[in-house]
């Protein structure tokens, strides 16, 4: 069975082109790993693969969700895993491409075993004094307390909440999860496109201008009651401001550019922690074929 190859990196780093190149070499199929490219009607604003790119190799999970639907990492996992298996069952190599770290984490490692916050318990903990919270955390999980910044009330409450909700020590959950993650990491293969920060900013600036000149404004104009998830796509709020006469087109472009740069910075921070990814240094003198040559298949 052909194991998936993951192509990751910041927005505007050239992931889609590299994924297509690798798919051609391996007789593979491209699977979307981006949180917003799943939405229909946002192909321009989300920089989804072009119509020409879609014809080069099979693509999956692009433009498959109505903009009125909510979407999250768990639902993505439920959609993506069967597609990956189907590609494998047909003797092809799945090439998963995207910059949404949490979505990719859900299909490589699964959901975190840490329980979500409980409003009732959280309210009860919030009513306690700092010293009472620290005392209880040190009692139920000494190791976890030692690793927690006890001066940060929010951290203490969350650590204690995890212990009480799970019935286990937070430190035990973390240690087990780290051990399991290390074992999974050893089975994964993928590449991380890395650009100099200023060079990436220039690529984002160029992409932003092309996006606005190529129909993104009309995409937003046609949006009707988008979901809260969809609303978070960079560009929607800014273009709405332009359409409502609140900002100029140049101000809209600048705001989209800065928001995208901030997102790219968060992406770089996330993927730096994924040590199983092979770094691929990029610049304008390195073409897609050369990057593909660096990946061990």
**Which CATH number does the domain housing residue 29 bear?**
3.40.50.300
Write down which residue in 176, 192, 223 finishes a domain.
Answer: 176
The whole-angstrom separation of Cα 138 and Cα 156 is: 10
234 and 197 fall within a common domain: yes
Q: For residue 132, what is the domain's CATH number?
A: 1.10.20
204 and 106 fall within a common domain: yes
Of all residues in the chain, the percent with pLDDT exceeding 70 is: 100
45 and 90 fall within a common domain: yes
Q: Under 8 Å CB-to-CB from 50, ≥6 apart: which residues?
A: none
Supply the pLDDT for residue 296: 75
Confidence of residue 48 (pLDDT cuts 50, 70, 90): very high
The answer to whether residue 293 scores a pLDDT higher than 90 is no
Neighbours of 50 (CB within 10 A): 12
130 and 191 fall within a common domain: no
pLDDT in tens, 262-275: 999 999 999 999 99
pTM listed for this prediction: 0.89
Confidence of residue 287 (pLDDT cuts 50, 70, 90): confident
86 and 189 fall within a common domain: yes
165 and 265 fall within a common domain: no
Confidence of residue 1 (pLDDT cuts 50, 70, 90): confident
Of all residues in the chain, the percent with pLDDT exceeding 90 is: 94
Write down which residue in 138, 156, 176 finishes a domain.
Answer: 176
Which structural domain, as residue segments, surrounds residue 131? 119-176
105 and 171 fall within a common domain: no
Supply the pLDDT for residue 61: 98
pLDDT in tens, 144-187: 999 999 999 999 999 999 999 999 999 999 999 999 999 999 99
Q: Into how many domains does the chain fold?
A: 2
Mean pLDDT, the chain, whole residue set = 95
Question: Is residue 67 within 8 Å of 226, Cβ to Cβ?
Answer: yes
160 and 145 fall within a common domain: yes
Write down which residue in 159, 176, 193 finishes a domain.
Answer: 176
260 and 167 fall within a common domain: no
Identify the helix (H) or strand (E) that includes residue 221: helix 216-221
């Amino acid at each position: 069975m052909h194991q998936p190859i993951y192509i990751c990196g910041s927005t505007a780093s050239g992931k889609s082109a590299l994924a297509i190149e690798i798919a051609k070499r391996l007789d593979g199929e491209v699977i979307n790993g981006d949180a917003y490219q799943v939405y229909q009607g946002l192909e321009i604003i989300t920089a989804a693969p072009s119509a020409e790119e879609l014809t080069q190799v099979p693509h999956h999970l692009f433009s498959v969700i109505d903009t009125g639907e909510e979407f999250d990492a768990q639902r993505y996992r439920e959609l993506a895993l069967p597609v990956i298996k189907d590609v494998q069952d047909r003797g092809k190599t799945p090439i998963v491409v995207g910059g949404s770290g949490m979505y990719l984490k859900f299909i490589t490692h699964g959901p975190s075993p840490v329980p979500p916050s409980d409003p009732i318990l959280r309210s009860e903990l919030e009513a306690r004094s700092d010293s009472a919270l620290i005392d209880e955390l040190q009692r139920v999980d000494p190791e976890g307390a030692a690793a927690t910044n006890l001066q940060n009330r929010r951290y203490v409450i969350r650590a204690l909440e995890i212990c009480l909700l799970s019935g286990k020590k937070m430190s035990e959950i973390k240690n087990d999860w780290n051990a399991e993650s290390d074992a999974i990491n050893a089975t994964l293969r993928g590449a991380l496109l890395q650009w100099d920060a200023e060079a990436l900013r220039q690529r984002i600036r160029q992409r932003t201008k092309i996006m606005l000149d190529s129909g993104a404004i009309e995409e937003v104009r046609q949006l009707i009651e988008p979901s809260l998830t969809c609303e978070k796509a960079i560009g929607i709020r800014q273009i709405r401001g332009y359409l409502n006469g609140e900002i100029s087109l140049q101000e809209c472009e600048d705001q989209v550019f800065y928001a995208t740069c901030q997102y790219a910075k968060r992406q770089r921070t996330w993927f730096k922690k994924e040590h199983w990814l092979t770094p691929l240094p990029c610049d304008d003198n390195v073409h897609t074929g050369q990057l593909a040559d660096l990946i061990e298949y």
